[in-house]
Amino acid sequence: SLLVFMVQLGPFDQVESACRKVAGLWPRLTHVMAPAVFALGRVDEALAMLKKGAENGDWREATINAVNMATTNVTDARVVKTADELIEESLKRLPNQLDVLQAKAFLRHKQRKFEDELETYALIRKINPQDVRFLNNLAWTMAENLQRYDDGLKVIDEAIGRIGRRPSFLDTRGVILTRMGRYKEAIADLEAAREAATIISDGQPLGAIHFHLARAYLLNGQADKAKEMMTDGKKLGLSDSQLEPT
C-alpha cells in the first residue's frame, strides 16, 4: 500500500506528517506506522496505533505487527500485553487464521513458553496438515529447548522429505545431530547447509551456520577446522543476536 511504501521510504520523522494524513483516510492502516513510532521510543503511541488499526478492521496485520514489536523486547510488559490481547481477539474473529497462529507460536517461543508454542503448532497442523512453514521451528524447539532430540529429528526429517534440503533445515538437522553426539553426520549436514546458504537466502544467517559447524568440528576433535569456521563466521557478521540462547 501507499502507506507501507511511505513508512519504508523514511526516515520516519521526515515522512510522519504525510503518513498521518494517509492514515486519516484509511484508519485501518494506522498500525503500519506503529513499528516506526515504537522504534523512536514512543511506545504508548505505537500501541494505540496497533489497536486503532485492528479495531478499524485490519486485525491480522495489526496483530502480526504487535508480535513483531513484542519479540524485539519481551521484557516490556506493555508491548507483550498488547500483542497477547490482539492475538486473543484476532483468533476470536478469525479462529483459523494461520498467520496469526504462527505469530502466536513465535511470541511464545520468545517468552520461553515452549509447551504453549508446541500446542499452537499442533493446532496449526490440525487446521491445515499441508502447512509446513512451522516444521523447522517445531523441530528446533523440541530439540534445543525441550531436549526431545528424537522427536525433533523426526520433524526435521519430515520437513526435508516434504520440501527438500533447504539450508535452514539442514542447519537444524545438523544441530540436532550434534546434540545427539552423531558428529560426522552433523558435520555433513552443516557443511551442506553452509554451501547451499551461499546460493539461497533461507532465513538462517550464514554466520550462525558457521558457528554450528564450528561446534560440531570441535566436538569431533577437529579444533583447527573449528577455529577456521569461527573466523569465517565472524567475517560474515556472526553475532550473539543470531544465536539462540541454548
Q: How many CB atoms lie within 10 A of CB 214?
A: 23
pTM: 0.87
> Which residues neighbour 125 within 8 Å (Cβ) at sequence distance 6 or greater?
131, 134
pLDDT of residue 22: 86
Residue among 154, 146, 186 nearest 170 (CA): 186
Q: What is the DSSP letter of 126?
A: H
pLDDT of residue 1: 65
Tell me the per-residue pLDDT of 144-163, one tens digit each, with 9 for 90 and over.
Answer: 999 999 999 999 999 999 99
Q: Which helix (H) or strand (E) holds 42?
A: none
pLDDT of residue 19: 85
pLDDT of residue 20: 87
- Here the cell at position 219 is 566436538
The answer to whether the beta carbons of residues 194 and 209 sit under 8 Å apart is yes
pLDDT of residue 8: 78
Q: How far is CA 179 from the centre of its chain?
A: 22
- Here the cell at position 26 is 484509511
pLDDT of residue 147: 97
Q: Which residues of the chain have pLDDT under 50?
A: none
What is the rounded CA–CA span in Å between residue 166 and residue 119? Answer: 25
Give the type of residue at 114: F
Cis peptide bond prior to 95, omega within 30° of 0: no
